[in-house]
Amino acid sequence: MASQSFNIPRTRILIVVLTTLLYFLSMNISISIVVRYSRELGINISNTSIIWAVTFLVSAIFRPISGHYGDRVSSFLMMSIGSAFLMLANVVYMFSRDFTSLLLGRFLNGIASAMFVAPSIAAATLIVSEDLVGRSLSYRSATVSLGALVGPVIGGYLVDYVSYSVAFALSAALSALNAIVCALLYTRSDITAQLQRSSDRGSWKDAMNLIVILFTATSLIGGLSFFTFRSLLQSHYRDLGYPSSLYGILMACFAAITMILRLTSHRIIGSNLRRLFLISATCYFIVGLGSIVLSRTYMYPWAFIPVAFYGLGFGLLVPAVQSIISMSTMKNVRNRAMTVYAMGYDIGGFVGGIVLGHVAQTFGYSFSYAIIGLLLMINPILVLMSINRVLNK
Q: What is the pLDDT of residue 20?
A: 95
**Amino acid letter for position 260:** I
pLDDT tens digits for range 322-361: 889 988 888 788 878 888 998 998 899 898 888 888 899 8
List pLDDT tens digits, range 177-215: 999 999 998 877 655 555 555 445 567 787 888 899 999
Contact 139, 126 (CB under 8 A): no
Return d(Cα 171, Cα 177) in angstroms, integer. 10
Domains annotated on the chain, with CATH: 2-391 (1.20.1250.20)
Which pLDDT score is estimated for 201? 59
Write out the DSSP string of 292-320.
HHHTT--STTTTHHHHHHHHHHHHHHHHH
Mean pLDDT of the chain, nearest integer: 88
- pTM of the predicted structure, to 2 decimals: 0.80
**pLDDT tens sequence across 111-160:** 999 999 989 988 888 877 777 777 888 889 889 989 988 999 999 999 99
Rg (CA), the chain: 19
* Percent of the chain whose pLDDT exceeds 90: 54
Question: pLDDT of 205-241, one tens digit each?
Answer: 878 888 999 999 999 998 888 877 788 898 899 999 9
CA distance 79 to 179: 7
Alpha-carbon gap, residue 333 to 140, rounded angstroms: 20
